[in-house]
A = this chain, B = another copy of it.
Amino acid sequence: MAIREKVFNIIISCFKRHGAETIDSPVFELKETLTGKYGEDSKLIYDLKDQGGELLSLRYDLTVPFARYLAMNKITNIKRYHIAKVYRRDNPAMTRGRYREFYQCDFDIAGQYDAMIPDAECLKIVYEILNELDLGDFRIKVNDRRILDGMFAVCGVPDEKFRTICSTVDKLDKPDVLPLDLAERLLQDPKLSQNKQACAGLTDMKLLFSYLELFQVTDKVVFDLSLARGLDYYTGVIYEAILSQTIPALVSTPAEQNGADEAGVSVGSVAGGGRYDGLVGMFDPKGRKVPCVGVSIGIERIFSIMEQKAEASSEKVRTTETQVLVASAQKNLLEERLKLTNALWNEGIKAEVLYKKNPKLLSQLQHCEETGIPLVAILGEQELKDGVVKLRNVVSREEVDVPRADLVDEIKKRTL
């Protein structure tokens, strides 16, 4: 939880820096809301028992509830993040951060805006978060469903097979990353340039990269025609971020690779998203559309990586933030210890005291060592008489007598 809190703080700070508000939605959705949104993965949805009333299911992701919320509340523009748990009756793979209950961490921009500006901001956000989390080098692959669809059309694939083929392309072994001037070359292809969808996608791709240059993120972003993504609802730009470093626990077994991934993204990826302009309309009685673009951070996988990093390092992760333990080496000083602890709490100091009448000094020091408390404030008859407290640094064992009136400042100074 301590590691998770750090990761959340970095991500939430980034979302707030980009002006997002947060919303919450119930863990239940009407069963019918989820029906027909996830293709064959629908079998992984958890249903509630019919105990009377509406038939309910547990949310499978945060995107469908978000779209339902926008339609139901007639919201036509919002920039929001939502960090919450979702549920899938899948085969867990603990070391890879794949569970039946897991966090999703979504940022989305809904609204009718000029092309590619919010899309570019989503990519900037992925870039900032992966940089700040310090997970090593990464790259962000970008493609556009319209380009893929255009290519399928030109190759003679029937319309109704587009989504199935996307799903298949997404599972292929990926070729090397292709350069951006590819967009230019594809636009000059005699057949493809006749396809409206493909042209729109390619023109937007060029526009997107011009904004990404202004956002100074093109060193990590690559146009990759082989990126398809599994989800049905994407209608434009799609993207996926992949760590360059191979992390052992993230290398899945072939059996796992055949299953759907927790964020609908391929193995190794830590963020993914894209534009879905049709989903909100599915929940509006009049079919009114609200264009959306968003990104989902693969936060469970990031937790796994951070936890493994913490385990590998010699430094112990603290689970509390206590600054000082109020202790005594002598008997019958419980009241004095409680009084001092109370005074420290009242001054905003994070303080603990052992719940024993006469604890041994050794066991008090051991508690500090076990939980990483850096300071001990030691009370004794002599200290009480002199109006001082002996402040001990747990690691260096250095001790200094601090006048009672200076104690709070001294603790703050030594634990900042």
- Taking CB atoms, residues of chain B closer than 8 Å to A211 are 338
Asked whether any CB of chain B lies closer than 8 Å to the CB of A2, the reply is: yes
Interface residues of A in 296-334 (CB under 8 A from B): 319-322, 334
Query: Number of contact residues on A: which range applies?
Result: 35 or more
Asked whether any CB of chain B lies closer than 8 Å to the CB of A416, the reply is: no
Partner of A321, one of B16, B27, B111: B16
Tell me the number of copies of this protein.
Answer: 2
| Contact A17/B345 with A1-B22, A111-B355, A355-B118 known, Cβ cut-off 8 Å | yes
Interface residues of A in 1-17 (CB under 8 A from B): 1-2, 5, 16-17
Closest to A215 in B: B342
Which of A41-49, A190-198, A235-243 makes up part of the contact surface?
A: A41-49
**Residues of chain A having any CB pair with chain B under 8 Å:** 1-2, 5, 16-24, 26-28, 46-51, 85, 87, 89, 101, 109, 111, 113-114, 117-118, 120-121, 124, 128, 211, 214-216, 319-322, 334-335, 338-339, 342, 345-346, 348-353, 355-357
A-B contact pairs, 6 of them (CB 8 A): A47-B48, A114-B356, A117-B338, A117-B356, A120-B338, A216-B346
Q: Are B322 and A19 in contact (CB under 8 A)?
A: yes
| Contact A48/B51 with A16-B320, A101-B27 known, Cβ cut-off 8 Å | no
| Contact A214/B338 with A113-B356, A322-B19 known, Cβ cut-off 8 Å | yes
| Nearest chain B CB to A349 CB, angstrom units | 7
- Taking CB atoms, residues of chain B closer than 8 Å to A346 are 216
Q: Are A21 and B49 in contact (CB under 8 A)?
A: no
